[in-house]
């Protein structure tokens, strides 16, 4: 029963996100296209990222972070493996 509730909540949140950003009509068209085309997100994502260099991905990710600053109250953790490694959080754009 819990799995059904979680799935329903995720689907509701996803549709709310789509309608907020696309509008109701375009959101419905998007869902219909996904169903009609037997869309494989993993395959699409792989093709999308395989066409980009690591430098492009990094540049786009940094730009996205700059354009869409995090509004929550989370704390950025360092991903340093060793104390002598540079702190990626200190990287300036």
User: Is residue 32, in this structure, part of any structural domain at all?
Assistant: yes
Predicted model pTM: 0.46
| Domains of the chain: total | 1
CA angle 37, 25, 28 (to 5 degrees): 35
What is the domain range of residue 31? 1-54
Render pLDDT for 9-54 as a digit per residue (tens, 0 to 9).
999 999 999 999 999 999 999 999 888 888 888 888 999 999 999 9
User: Is residue 26, in this structure, part of any structural domain at all?
Assistant: yes
Of 90, 63, 59, the closest CA to residue 77 belongs to 90
User: Is residue 66, in this structure, part of any structural domain at all?
Assistant: no
User: Rounded mean pLDDT of 1-15?
Assistant: 82
> Do the beta carbons of residue 11 and residue 18 sit within 8 Å?
no
Is 90 exceeded by the pLDDT of residue 73? no
User: Is residue 4, in this structure, part of any structural domain at all?
Assistant: yes
User: Is residue 74, in this structure, part of any structural domain at all?
Assistant: no
Band (pLDDT 50/70/90 cuts) for residue 2 is: low
- The DSSP result for 36-77, as a single string, is HTT--HHHHHHHHHHTS-HHHHHHHHHHHHHHS---S---PP
User: Is residue 42, in this structure, part of any structural domain at all?
Assistant: yes
User: Is residue 75, in this structure, part of any structural domain at all?
Assistant: no
User: Is residue 1, in this structure, part of any structural domain at all?
Assistant: yes
User: Rounded mean pLDDT of 52-68?
Assistant: 92
């Amino acid at each position: 029963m819990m799995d059904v509730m979680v799935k329903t909540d995720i689907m509701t949140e996803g549709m709310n996100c789509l309608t907020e950003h696309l509008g109701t009509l375009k959101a419905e068209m998007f869902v219909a296209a996904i169903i009609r085309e037997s869309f494989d997100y993993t395959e699409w994502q792989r093709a999308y990222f395989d066409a980009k260099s690591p430098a492009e991905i990094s540049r786009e990710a940094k730009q996205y972070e700059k354009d869409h600053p995090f509004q929550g109250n989370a704390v950025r953790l360092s991903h340093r493996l060793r104390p002598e490694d540079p702190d990626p959080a200190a990287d300036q754009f």
